[in-house]
Amino acid sequence: MDQSSNRLSLPSSPREFGFFVDGEWRGGREFFDRASPGHGAVVTRIPRCTNKDLEDAVAAARTAFEDRRWSGLSGGERAGVLLRAAEGLRRRRDEIAYWETLENGKPISQARGEIDHSIACFEMGAGAARLLHGDSFNSLGDNLFGMVLREPIGVVGLITPWNFPFLILCERVPFILASGCTIVAKPSEVTSATTLILAEVLAEAGLPAGVYNVVTGSGRTIGQAMTEHPDIDMLSFTGSTAVGRSCVRASADSNFKKLGLELGGKNPMIVFADADLDEAADGVAFGIGFNTGQCCVSGSRLMVERSIAEEFEARLADKMARIRVGDPLDERTQVGAITTEAQNTTILDYIARGQAEGARVVTGGTPLDFGGGQYIAPTLFAGVTRGMAIAQDEIFGPVLSSMPFDTMEEAIRLANDTVYGLSASVWTKNLDKALAVTRRVRAGRFWVNTMMAGGPEMPLGGFKQSGWGREAGMYGVEEYTQIKSVHIELGKRTPWIE
Ligand code: TXE
């Protein structure tokens, strides 16, 4: 097939966005220009909101919460809006995927898959809105009845990163809305377009004004102000561990807002000699290659049983060298561009550091030139030891560090040898080993003989310094609720004063 027919083109001029407060679009006074990381051309102009804009958004979300225009509806009515939003997303799937690819640099086919997953999140959220319930205690004696109510927590601030701008948003928004809360969202300054498009979709689906607001701007200004805001009841933050730490401080210094934090990872993939080695090599290549390794759940450390280590690394290197890296707008591309220049520099610095510290590049290790944008070849390091930076730090790029192990005990020890605990995967045909590893490796998401599988039913979140709380599924909805215990006296109350 002619190569050009497989490729979408860049927009003829940058698309300018407003921001969304209280059901209305507002024009920006100053803007960020965002260049496509795959091509270098400016594709969007995003408003640089002010603190006053944030104040307006929080006030709108507060009013919408307090007057119960959303939380006062039945779960069924909320579900109706979420299902209509899912339909709206289905209609605009290709458009949303296109802007996601332009700002983020991920392959267009992958972006479409992420919109499909996002639609499923809205459908799941609709079900959850109807299913959310409390509990009752009929065991307190004939004179007392106990009820446990789940109430929406209030105004939720949502700060999202640039690696999955729409997917991460949609792993949260429908669940927050299902609970009855209202939202002020702030996307990453480099990938704001699709968070703004969602505002249009939700409004068309009948979401009342003020329930979903979007302010755009930098993390240091708008993001920081959100973490400190006394009228935001809960903040869901996804991003770096460093900023996660500052969210905790800001919460303590302001109103003790509840925090949901999804932070970094240095996730192990453990391959035993009895695994299907071809499948394992494919899964491991996917684990580090998917989204150019810019996933909080990327498998970035490989632990492979020593008896097969060399053979497995060679097989894996062969697969990694065959990953189709290139123009994100090309239908055939499997791995696109690195999303920001800063991230590109960070990754290349880590590759240089790995070599300086004595690890051996088996494949990759270099930038790739496609005549514009920034790309890095999927990279495998062998001979990595636990003290090396590439064994400990989250690189957030297509760089995999391989370490051999001799026994299952050693594999588990190596896997847990990190401050993080977001995800892990194990490859073996032996059920005893698979379950022992799953039980003992400390991570919030586990894959056995697969990588990255899952759906909106399953909760997401981390152990250790990978974060607090869970998103998605029923667990995700419950995070956005408060629990109220209600005690009802029945019959005549025994008097205190005779
Ligand atoms: O993240 P930041 P960056 C990791 C990854 C990456 C590193 C740095 O290792 O290399 O973080 O990326 C907003 N108060 N992850 O610098 O700064 C910011 O505007 C409040 C892992 O881009 O944490 C954006 O919306 N908010 C990760 C969001 O935080 C602030 C995803 C994330 O940006 C803020 C992304 C502040 N002081 C990066 N400063 C994951 N878990 O998937 C910034 N922000």
Cβ-based neighbours of 194, under 8 Å, separated by 6 or more: 96, 99, 100, 103, 165, 166, 169, 187
Q: With 60 as the cut, is the pLDDT of residue 4 above it?
A: no
Give tens-digit pLDDT for 250-303: 999 999 999 999 999 999 999 999 999 999 999 999 999 999 999 999 999 999
What length is written for the chain? 498
Confidence tier at 91 by pLDDT (50, 70, 90):
very high
Cα 161 to middle of ligand 1, angstroms: 6
Cα 465 to middle of ligand 1, angstroms: 15
For atom 13 of ligand 1, the residue with the nearest CA is: 219
CA-closest candidate to residue 234, choices 251, 257, 261, 256: 257
Q: May I ask the CATH architecture of the domain 15-263+466-484? A: 3-Layer(aba) Sandwich (3.40)
Q: With 90 as the cut, is the pLDDT of residue 3 above it?
A: no
Ligand 1 closest atom vs CA 160 = 25
How many alpha carbons fall within 13 Å on the CB side of residue 369? 1
Confidence tier at 28 by pLDDT (50, 70, 90):
confident
Cα 69 to middle of ligand 1, angstroms: 33
Write out the catalytic residue numbers: 262
Give tens-digit pLDDT for 315-329: 999 999 999 999 999
Query: Rounded to a whole number, what is the distance in angstroms from the first to the last CA of the chain?
Result: 93
Across 249-284, b (16+ Cβ under 10 Å) vs e yields ebbeeeeebbbbbbbbbbbbbbbbeebebeebbebb
Angle at CA of residue 80, ends 182 and 99, nearest 5°:
65
Q: With 50 as the cut, is the pLDDT of residue 249 above it?
A: yes
Q: What percent of the chain has pLDDT over 90?
A: 98
Give tens-digit pLDDT for 450-475: 999 999 999 999 999 999 999 999 99
Give tens-digit pLDDT for 6-24: 789 999 999 999 999 999 9
Give tens-digit pLDDT for 215-227: 999 999 999 999 9
Cα 163 to middle of ligand 1, angstroms: 10
The phi and psi torsions of 481 (rounded to 5 degrees) equal -120, 155
**Mean pLDDT within 327-343:** 97
Q: Which CATH class for the 267-448 domain?
A: alpha beta
pLDDT of amino acid 1? 32
Q: Is 50 in the pocket of ligand 1 (CB under 6 A)?
A: no
**Distance separating alpha carbons of residues 333 and 110, to the nearest angstrom:** 9
Give tens-digit pLDDT for 105-148: 999 999 999 999 999 999 999 999 999 999 999 999 999 999 99
What does the block give as tokens for 116? Answer: 């499909």
In terms of pTM, does the model score above 0.85? yes
Confidence tier at 5 by pLDDT (50, 70, 90):
low
pLDDT of amino acid 217? 96
Residue type for 334, please? Q
Identify which of 240, 290, 420, 471 to mutate to test ligand 1's pocket (most ligand atoms within 8 A of the CB). Answer: 240
HEC-encoded secondary structure of the chain: CCHHHHECCCCCCCEECCEEECCEEECCCCEEEEECCCCCCEEEEEECCCHHHHHHHHHHHHHHHHCCCCCCCCHHHHHHHHHHHHHHHHHCHHHHHHHHHHHHCCCHHHHHHHHHHHHHHHHHHHHHHHHCCCEEECCCCCCEEEEEEEEECCEEEEECCCCCHHHHHHCCHHHHHHHCCEEEEECCCCCCHHHHHHHHHHHHCCCCCCCEEECCCCHHHHHHHHHHCCCCCEEEEECCHHHHHHHHHHHHHCCCCEEEEECCCCEEEEECCCCCHHHHHHHHHHHHHHHHHCCCCCEEEEEEEHHHHHHHHHHHHHHHHCCCECCCCECCCCECCCCCHHHHHHHHHHHHHHHHCCCEEEECCCEECCCCCCEECCEEEECCCCCCHHHHCCCCCCEEEEEEECCHHHHHHHHCCCCEECEEEEECCCHHHHHHHHHHCCCCEEEECCCCCCCCCCCECCEECCEECCECHHHHHHHCEEEEEEEEECCCCCCCCC
Q: With 50 as the cut, is the pLDDT of residue 2 above it?
A: no
Average pLDDT over the chain, rounded to whole? Answer: 97
Q: Is 228 in the pocket of ligand 1 (CB under 6 A)?
A: no
Where exactly does CATH 3.40.605.10 map onto the chain?
15-263+466-484
pLDDT of amino acid 6? 79
For atom 4 of ligand 1, the residue with the nearest CA is: 240
Where exactly does CATH 3.40.309.10 map onto the chain?
267-448
- Would you give the distance in Å from CA 313 to the centre of its chain? 29
What does the block give as tokens for 41? Answer: 């051309």
